Structure 1
């Protein structure tokens, strides 16, 4: 299975399990994660959630072949595609969510971290949000959340240029909690999740609710706004050039567009 889920000692672990495709995410994988998060919300035995990948890679982001195959349905105004369901479930989760990231976290692999409560990186982690390089724009409220965390100028650099940044830089910016040697990452994240699971569930939920305040509603609004831009840009010439260049293994040429 491309998404593995496991419940033990109050912890739901969601694991990207498609290493042969660099854990690239399909719509079926998004649906599986959305369902797991929604089930966890009503499951009293789940007290903390841990999202992780493989030692060599967290996720390469969207599976572009699957993404383009479903592009038309993703752009439909009334559609609630699996990726949107997943990110909405993550945004609305009342339970603490921890991410343990090693290797590359591309595109939505970095975006989803902004919706987690605690983020731990291995020293080999490399984050990126290459939306502009694909003729697209930020997604799922990253244009709002990222600058709230790291400040406007740093967010502008990462979102506008779309260049990758290291675990050390992510920590220095205040984006993540801790950077660890690869072999220590998962045990440490599991230990943190176990600490949360051992605490009073009502206290953790209340603390998260108080810290988040009205943010989930604001995030939902921003997600909808970004989705309008994203959907329109998905069918624009710039994105078509970027995707064609990707499949043809060449550098895209945006000079022809204003």
Structure 2
């Protein structure tokens, strides 16, 4: 299937999604949201895909919402339609069964920053710039920025970024916990693929379970989350991978996982 705004590639058990709107700085338009939504559905249904990498171009990951389309929003009702669409997409990205690595270079502003925060892990090139500048045009982030950012960097630091709208460089993003790693631009995709390959070797069902438990548990009180973790832990003892992993450990050999 061909797309106008994204490039979808499958490399063995790793999927790579590249945002591809060079003339508009990978702005998040209705067309891009529709196509990305379709790609995520394909990935979720593909049991061969273990890990996903989401990236943009060298100069821009995504510079926010499409200004031409945003400029046409002049009522709360139209704003509601837009924000429901983009939140639904980013929630789907966050809840994708497979882990998602954002490989970010250049600008990741507004919706672009919110998109990468919806991923599980963020690797930044040394030229990356992150920010939520919505306050400067009289609005607030509408795709999870006010909620995911505090969860990643803490409430005080998040409020500073949200109140000022000022962007931060990759090293500062790493310092405050917004990104996991900063690498030279030339090695960004190599680093992302290396990490994706390492994660892809883990037992698939346990990997998916880990993602679900972390994502759901963070919104529970600690007692409920621990109980949820316990039940999920117990269920993994019904999998072939758990039996193979334990047997391989005892026999001091490398485990061969099948995702079952």
TM-based fold match above 0.5? yes
Aligned residue for 1:179, secondary structure, equals strand
**2:202 matches 1:205:** no
Aligned-partner Cα distance in 2 for 1:90–1:208:
12
Give the equivalent residue in structure 1 for 2:33: 30
Q: Contact 2:86 / 2:143 at 8 angstroms: preserved in 1?
A: no
Q: Which one of 43, 61, 75 corresponds to residue 79 of structure 2?
A: 75
TM-score, structure 2 as length reference: 0.77
Residues 76-118 of structure 1, C-alpha deviations (whole Å, 9 max, x = no match): 56x8854233212113212101000000111011112222111
Q: Which one of 170, 178, 182 corresponds to residue 175 of structure 1?
A: 178
Aligned-partner Cα distance in 2 for 1:12–1:67:
30
Q: Contact 1:92 / 1:216 at 8 angstroms: preserved in 2?
A: no
Aligned-partner Cα distance in 1 for 2:155–2:80:
31
Q: Which one of 84, 95, 98 corresponds to residue 101 of structure 2?
A: 98
Residues 106-139 of structure 1, C-alpha deviations (whole Å, 9 max, x = no match): 1011112222111000000001101111211122
**2:157 matches 1:154:** yes
Give the equivalent residue in structure 2 for 1:191: 194
Matches within 5 A, 1:42-57: 42-57=45-60
Aligned residue for 1:43, secondary structure, equals coil
Give the equivalent residue in structure 2 for 1:254: none
**2:166 matches 1:163:** yes
Residues 19-77 of structure 1, C-alpha deviations (whole Å, 9 max, x = no match): 12211121100111111112211211111111000111111111100233466674356
Aligned-partner Cα distance in 1 for 2:167–2:102:
18
Q: Which structure would you say has the larger Rg?
A: 2
TM-score, structure 1 as length reference: 0.77
**2:89 matches 1:86:** yes
- After superposition, the CA RMSD in angstroms is 2.2
Matches within 5 A, 1:234-253: none
Extract unaligned runs of 5+ from structure 2.
Answer: 222-260
Extract unaligned runs of 5+ from structure 1.
Answer: 219-258
Change in Cα spacing, 1:217 to 1:112, as seen in structure 2 (3 Å) is: farther
